[in-house]
Amino acid sequence: MTQRLIIVNAAEDCRKKVLAMAEEHDVMDCRFYAIGEKGEYAVHILIGEENRQELLDELQSIIGNTDDWRITILPVEASLPQKDVEEEEEAAKAPGNSGETREEMYNDVLNGARLDIIYLVFIALSTIVAAIGLINDNVAVVVGAMVIAPMLGPNLAFALGVALGDQSLMIKSTITNAAGVACVVLLSIAIGLVLPIDLESRELISRTEPGFDGMALALASGAAAALSLSTGVSSALVGVMVSVALLPPTAVLGLMIGAGHFGLAAGAATLLAINLVCLNLSAQLTFVLRGVRPRTWFEKKNARQAVIINGVFWAFLLVVLVVLLWFGLPEYLRPNLDK
C-alpha cells in the first residue's frame, strides 16, 4: 500500500480542527510542530490509501480561506513499524481509495502537457528513428522510437482535464498534442521526399490498413494510461503502448504524403483518427469510473458538463469509424499498392 506524508502549514487558529480531522480519519501517524514566532505551525500526517483524497478535500475546506497556508504531499518509501499486511489489503480494497489523489495526478500530467523545446526535440528524434525503422521494416528500431516518443503526456493530460473540468489544462494539452502530431507529419513528409519508400515493408504497409485490432489496441492503451496515473503505477511501459497507437501511423501518414502515395496516406490518417478517438474515450471513461472528480460542487458541475460533451463527441466519432470499418472504407481510403 502506498503511503504519503502530508505536511500542513497554516495559522494557529486552524490547528485543533486539523488535528481533530486527522484523528477522525484514523491516520497512521500525526505530529504537531510549532514553527516561527507568529503562531504558525506544521502538522505532519502519515496516511495510506484509505480516504486520502477525502482527507485532502477536508483540509482544503478548513484552511483554504485563511492566509499563507500550504499543503505539501511527499511520497514515502517505507515507515516503521509496518502495518499488518491484512490490514493494508483491506484498506486498499475500501471504497473511495483510488490510489493517487487528484492533486498528485494533476502535478504528474502538468509537465507532459507543456509545449517546449525539449518536447519537440524528442518528437523529432522519435520521428526520425521511427521513419527509418518503418522504411527498413525493422521492428526493433520502430519499438525504440516508441520508447522515446513523449506522446503519452498531452493525451493523458487532456483526459484528466476533462475529468476535472479544467479548461486550461484541456486547451494546453490539445495545443501540445496538435503541435506534436504536426511535427511528426511535417518531418515525415520531408523524409519521404528524400528517402525511397519500400512498399514491401510490412511495418510500413500495416499502418495503412485500419482495422478493429488497432481499435482494440488504442482502447486498451488509453485505459491503461489512465489506470497507471490514478493508481500510481509506473507509466513508462504504458507510454510505449500509447506511442504504438499514435507515432507509427502519424509517421506513415507523412512518409506516404512525401512519397506521393496519397491513397496509402489516407489509410494511415484513418488509422490515426481511430487510435486518437479510442485512446481519449477509454482514458476519460477510466477516470470517470475511478471516481476522479473536482473538489467543490461548482467545479463538479463544470466537470460533469465537460465529461458529457467530450464523451458524446468521442463516442459519435467512434460510431462513425466503426461503421466505416464494418461496411468497408470508401474506395479513396483503401490502400492500392498498384498506384
pLDDT digits (tens, 9 = 90+) for 318-332: 888 888 777 765 555
Q: Tell me the residue length of the chain.
A: 339
d(Cα 150, Cα 327) in Å, to the nearest integer? Answer: 35
pLDDT of residue 323: 81
What's this model's pTM, rounded to 2 decimal places? 0.75
Q: How high is the mean pLDDT of the chain?
A: 81
Torsions phi, psi for 29 (to 5 deg): -160, 150
Of the CA atoms within 13 Å of residue 113, those in its CB half-sphere come to 23
Amino acid residing at 59: L
What's the average model confidence in pLDDT over 291-318?
A: 78
pLDDT tens for 23-75 read 888 788 888 887 766 667 788 888 887 778 788 888 888 887 777 788 888 88
Average pLDDT over residues 254-260: 92
Give me the mean pLDDT over the 164-193 stretch.
92
Q: Which of 321, 199, 191 is CA-nearest to residue 263?
A: 199
Q: Percent of the chain beyond pLDDT 70?
A: 86
Coil, strand or helix at 240: helix
Highest mean pLDDT among 63-77, 122-136, 224-238: 122-136
* Position 96 pLDDT exceeds 50: no
Confidence category of residue 257, pLDDT binned at 50, 70, 90? very high
State residue 324's pLDDT score.
76
Per-residue buried b or exposed e for 30-46, using 16+ beta carbons within 10 Å of the residue's own CB: beeeeeeeeebbbbbbb
For 258-285, the pLDDT digits (tens) are 988 988 898 889 889 989 999 988 988 8
pLDDT given at position 338? 42
Q: Is the pLDDT of residue 186 over 90?
A: yes
Fold of 3-97: Alpha-Beta Plaits (3.30.70)
Domain assignments of the chain as residue spans, ordered by start: 3-97, 103-333
